[in-house]
Amino acid sequence: MLSSLLAHAPLFPIRLSLQVAFMATGVLIVITIPISYVFARYEFYGKSFLDILLSLPLVLPPTVLGYYLVCLFGKRGVIGHLTYKLFGWTPMFNWWGAVIASIVVAFPLLFKTATSALSSVDLELEHAAYTLGHSKWSTFWRVTLPLAKKGILAGIVLAFARAMGEFGATLMLAGNIPGKTSTMPLAIYNEFIAGRLSQANFLVVIHTLIAITVLWIVRDKKTKSSHSLC
Amino acid sequence: MLKLDIKKQFNNWTLRVKITNEKKRLVIWGPSGSGKSLTLKMIAGLMEPDEGEISIKGNILYSSKKGINLSPQQRKIGFVFQNYALFPHLSVFENLAFGLKAFFNKNGHKEQLKDKIYYIAKRLEIDQLLDSYPKQLSGGQQQRVALGRVLLIEPDLVLLDEPFNSLDVALRYKLRELFVSISEDFNLPLILVTHDPEDVKEIGEEMAIIQKGLCICARPIPVELIKSNRQQLQDPIWDYIKKQEIFLDKESSKRYISYAHPVETEINKENPKRCSTKHYIKSFMSFQLKKIFLTKKL
C-alpha cells in the first residue's frame, strides 16, 4: 500500500526543494553574517540607504524581485551576459535560478534577525576580550557569535522556511519545468491546476511536516541552551 | 609610572587630561559624566584620542606625534569593567582562563596554567565557584572573577572603572582591602575611577580630579588622609570631594584651568604642598576668596 503510494508520489519536487533550500541557506549564512556584523558594529556613510535596499525583498512582491533578477541574470542581463560569454551558461531555467531566487527573497529575514542578535551582544564584552589579548577574529568566534547564536539560528530557520516556500521569483527566474525546476510550491500549483488533488495533498502535507520539524528543532535547541546558562 | 596627556573632541565638549603619576595606586575622582571612564578607555586603547601621548614606565602606548597607537591586545593592560563584563556563556573557570592564550593552543602547558588559575581563584576566594556561571554569582563574587581574569594575564597596569558601584557598603570595605592587598602582593599598579570619596581615601596613593572633561588637579594623597580618620583631617581637598555637587562655572573654570595647567597636574614628589589645591579650591567655595585669588593671579 505504502510502496504503491510512494511509487506514484511526486518525490522529485521534494528533493529539489530541499536541495534548493539547503544550498540557499548555506550561501546565505556565509554572506549574510559578515554583512550583519558590519551593520551591527560600524557606522558608515550610506548605511541607512543600504539597509533599505537590503530589506527591500521583505516588501517587494516576489514577481517584481523575479523581474529584477531576470534583468540581472538573463542572457542580456548584466551578470547573465557575462556568465554566458565566459561559460555559455546562465542560471535561467535551471535549479541554480531557484537557488538565487530563494537567496534574494530569504536574505532580509536572516539579515534582520542576525543584525539585531549581533548588536544585542554587549560591546563591553568584546572590549573585555580585546584587553585580554584576543584578536577581533577570535573575539567574534569565542564571544560575539556564541552569544548571538540563538537569534542567528532563528534567522537561519526563518530563511530556510522562506527558501523552501519560494514561488514567485523562482517562477520568473527558473521557470516551472516539471522534473527540472518545479520545486514543491510550484508542483503543488501544477497538481492542483491539473486536478490531481491526491498528489497536491501529499505535497501539502509533506511541506507542513517539514515546516513543523524545522520549528521543533529550533525550539529544542533553545531550551537546551537556556538550561546550560542557568 | 603613567604619563598621560590626551585630548579628544566630542560633539559639544572636549576631554583634556594630563596626569603624571609615580606611585602604585592612582584614583581618578569626578562626578558622573565628567569623562573619567572615557579616559580609562583611552589608556586601554579601546578609544583613540585626537592627540597627545600615553606611556607606562617609559613605554609609549600612544603618541600622535610619533604616530604610535598600540592595539588593546598589545598594551598588556587589565580592565575591570563597571558591570564586570564576564562572559555569560562561559563558566567561572573558562572566564578566568580566557586571557591565557596558551590555554587555547593544543600544545599549551595546560596543567601549569590550571595550577595558576587555582592559585588565583584561591587567593580571591572563588575556588569553590569555578564550575558556576556568572549569572549564579553575587555582585562581589563577579567582581572577584573579573579581577582574577585580569590578574592572570599578568598586566603591567590594571584599570578599574567604578568597581564598587553596585555593591553594598559592607562588601565595599572588604573589597577595597582586597584590592589594596592584591596591589601590594603582586606589585601591581592600579588606576581606579570613582565618584565615591571613600575609594579615594581607602585605595588611593595619588589622586586626580576630573570635572567636565578637564583634569583639574593631580597630586599625592596626603598621609593624614590615609592614616587619620576624617574628623581630624585638615586638608580641604577632602571637603571638596565630599561636596561633589559643587561645579565650577564656565568662567572661573577657564581661569582655574589656565592656572592649574600644566604645573598642577604634575605630581611634585619633593614638595607635595606646592601642588596643594587648598587655596584655589577654597576660592571657588567662597566668592570673596575667589576675588582675592584672581587679584593675586593677575
pLDDT in tens, A182-214: 899 999 999 999 999 999 999 999 999 988 888
- Element of type H or E holding A101: helix A95-119
The architecture in CATH of the region A2-225 reads Orthogonal Bundle (1.10)
Residues B126 and B63 in one domain: no
- The number of distinct structural domains making up chain B is 2
Tell me the shortest Cα–Cα distance from B78 to chain A, in angstroms: 6
Q: What is the pLDDT of residue B49?
A: 93
Q: What is the pLDDT of residue B278?
A: 45
Mean pLDDT of the B13-31 span: 84
Position B35 in a domain? yes
ipTM of the prediction: 0.78
Residues B31 and B44 in one domain: yes
CB B127 within 8 A of CB B118: yes
Query: A125 contacts in B (CB within 8 Å)?
Result: 85, 87
Q: What is the pLDDT of residue A74?
A: 87
Residues B146 and B163 in one domain: no
- pLDDT-derived band at B232 (thresholds 50, 70, 90) equals very low
Residues B115 and B245 in one domain: no
- pLDDT-derived band at B273 (thresholds 50, 70, 90) equals very low
Query: A117 contacts in B (CB within 8 Å)?
Result: none
Question: Over the stretch B284-297, which tens digit does the pLDDT of each residue have?
Answer: 444 444 444 444 44
* CA-wise closest residue to B248 among B281, B276, B277: B281
Residue B140 has pLDDT above 80, yes or no: yes
Residue spans of beta strands (DSSP E) within B205-298: 206-211, 214-220
Residues B211 and B127 in one domain: no
Q: Is B157 helix (H, G, I), strand (E, B) or coil?
A: strand
Residues B107 and B244 in one domain: no
- pLDDT-derived band at B199 (thresholds 50, 70, 90) equals confident
Question: Of B246 and B194, which is predicted with more confidence?
Answer: B194
Tell me the shortest Cα–Cα distance from A42 to chain B, in angstroms: 14
Instruction: State how far the Cα of B208 lies from the Cα of B195, in Å rounded to an integer.
Output: 12
Instruction: With a cut of 50, list the residues of chain A below it in pLDDT.
Output: 222-230
Question: Over the stretch A113-130, which tens digit does the pLDDT of each residue have?
Answer: 999 999 999 999 999 999
Residue B119 structural domain = 88-154
Mean pLDDT of the B23-41 span: 85
Which of B108, B131, B154 is at the close of a domain? Answer: B154
Q: Is A230 on the interface with B (CB under 8 A)?
A: yes
CA distances B68 to A100, B45, B54, B116, Å, are: 47, 11, 10, 33
Is pTM, for the whole model, over 0.90? Answer: no
Position B81 in a domain? no
Residues B205 and B258 in one domain: yes
Q: Count interface pairs A-B at CB distance under 8 A.
A: 59
Position B12 in a domain? yes
Nearest CA in chain A to B98: A132
Mean pLDDT of the B233-260 span: 45
CB B45 within 8 A of CB B75: yes
Position B82 in a domain? no
Position B284 in a domain? yes
Q: What is the pLDDT of residue B236?
A: 52
The mean predicted confidence, pLDDT, of chain B is 75
Residues B163 and B116 in one domain: no
Contact B87 A122 (CB under 8 A): no
Q: Is A123 on the interface with B (CB under 8 A)?
A: no
Which of B130, B154, B178 is at the close of a domain? Answer: B154
Which of B105, B132, B154 is at the close of a domain? Answer: B154
Give first-to-last CA distance, chain A, whole Å.
49
Which CATH number belongs to the domain containing residue B233 in this structure?
A: 3.40.50.300
CB B293 within 8 A of CB B279: yes
Residues B289 and B233 in one domain: yes
Position B286 in a domain? yes
Residue B144 has pLDDT above 70, yes or no: yes
Q: What is the pLDDT of residue B20?
A: 83
Nearest CA in chain B to A149: B89
